[in-house]
Amino acid sequence: MLARRHSLATLFAGSTLVLMGCGALPYARQSPAPVAVRAPAAADGGPVAGAPANHDKASEVVLFALGLLETDYRFGGKNPEAGLDCSGMVSYVFEKSADLRMAGSAADLARKGKPVPAAQLRPGDLVFFNTRNRPHSHVGIYIGDDRFVHAPNNRGKVRTESLKQGWFAARFEEGRTYFD
């Protein structure tokens, strides 16, 4: 599991993340590993204009979500022990890692937050898809490098996917941020 977390952490090309410690308990029972995060810096070493004020919370959301990889899918599922669906995963991750209460379906979650153009997505933003001929019928958490983590369907487990290729790329609708 430690090797998996370290290899997944390399997905964060734009962030400086240092993983410190990793428990031996199964992922469903452990808290995300503590992280040291440095906000993006300008060439002079100062903060980048427009950098998210809650960069640390967004990083915690991403790391917590990655800790749920391989969790079983369950329609209506809201915790890893029972299984998760897409909106249940998002609600669980945001509550446990960022202390943000987000409840409801993917469409309900899409009504909250601030729209973000695809080119400006940051780790921790939510990405929404039309997967059932219905707007905002699926949601995932953007992790950087044009990838997101989600609970796909009853034939799968929590996993990562590409926003740029494959089945979900053609169904991407929008991104939203909850940290600005």
State the Cα–Cα distance between residues 141 and 149, nearest whole angstrom. Answer: 5
User: Which run of H or of E encompasses 122?
Assistant: none
- Residue 164 is predicted with a pLDDT of 95
- Residue 55 is predicted with a pLDDT of 81
Choosing from 6, 22, 55, 150, the catalytic residue is: 150
**Could you give the domains of the chain?**
2-42+53-177 (3.90.1720.10)
Choosing from 22, 55, 136, 138, the catalytic residue is: 138
- Residue 13 is predicted with a pLDDT of 36
- Residue 5 is predicted with a pLDDT of 37
Please report the beta strands in the chain, taking only residues with DSSP state E, as ranges in sequence order: 16-19, 35-38, 78-79, 83-84, 114-116, 126-129, 138-144, 147-150, 159-162, 172-177
State the Cα–Cα distance between residues 151 and 160, nearest whole angstrom. Answer: 9
- Residue 2 is predicted with a pLDDT of 37
Residues with Cβ within 8 Å of residue 57, at least 6 apart in sequence: 97, 98, 100, 124, 179
Tabulate helix, strand, coil % of the chain (nearest 5). 25, 25, 50
Whether 22 is a known active-site residue: answer no
- Residue 63 is predicted with a pLDDT of 97
State the Cα–Cα distance between residues 36 and 30, nearest whole angstrom. Answer: 18
- Residue 160 is predicted with a pLDDT of 97
Is residue 153 within 8 A of residue 161, CB to CB? The reply is: no
Choosing from 6, 22, 55, 86, the catalytic residue is: 86
Whether 6 is a known active-site residue: answer no
- Residue 112 is predicted with a pLDDT of 92
- Residue 155 is predicted with a pLDDT of 84
The residues of the chain scoring below 50 in pLDDT are 1-53
Predicted TM-score (pTM) of this structure? 0.72
- Residue 154 is predicted with a pLDDT of 83
Question: Phi, psi (5° rounding) for residue 38?
Answer: -115, 125
Q: How far apart are the first and last CA of the chain?
A: 32
